Amino acid sequence: MSVDPCILGADPGLSGGVAFYYPDTRDVAVLDMPVVAGEVNMPELARQIRIYGPKFAFVERVASRPGQGVSSVFRFGCAYGQLLGVIATLEVPYRLVTPSTWKRWFKLSGSDKELSRARALELWPQRAELFKRKMDHGRAEAALLALYGADTL
């Protein structure tokens, strides 16, 4: 991976992902959100962020939606807070971006995560192995957030 400065993109949640995008080479590295015992593995997340050393982070701004269960909203909110806490502790400046904002940038509509995965495969065909599984939507959304951030920073 390049040693040039990168941009971090993060799709919050236990099934989310974290991406590190390198604007100079247009390359991307991704990982699933590290999880242990049903919570974000904050030490592992911090370790990974330190390794890549992003200069800025873009995190999807999330909120609860009608019809979600109380316990799932609580778990999701905890994961969101843990992610932001790690980023802030590492003193990486960050910006929260609504899903509608970054998805509009890529001309994606609705909440179908398969569209995000398809766009990531289109943008990074040489890295297709990173987005090949249906469950890689969190990685794809994190990568798109990082690219959005690099293009708008």
Phi-psi region of 116 (alpha: psi -120 to 50; beta: other; left: phi over 0): alpha
pLDDT > 50? residue 36:
yes
- At residue 1, the pLDDT reads 47
Question: What span, in angstroms and rounded, lies between the C-alpha atoms of 117 and 12?
Answer: 16
Query: Which position has the token pair 């249906």?
Result: 134
pTM of the model: 0.92
Structure tokens at 44: 């592992």
For residue range 8-22, list pLDDT tens digits in order: 999 999 999 999 999
For residue range 53-72, list pLDDT tens digits in order: 999 999 999 876 667 677 77
Report the percent of the chain where pLDDT is more than 70. 95
Closest by CA to 55, choosing from 2, 98, 99, is 2
Rounded to an integer, the average pLDDT of 129-147 is 96
pLDDT > 80? residue 122:
yes
For residue range 71-101, list pLDDT tens digits in order: 777 888 889 999 999 999 999 999 999 999 9
Beta strand residue intervals within the chain, DSSP E: 7-11, 17-22, 27-32, 35-36, 39-40, 56-60, 94-97
Domain 7-152 belongs to what topology?
Nucleotidyltransferase; domain 5 (3.30.420)
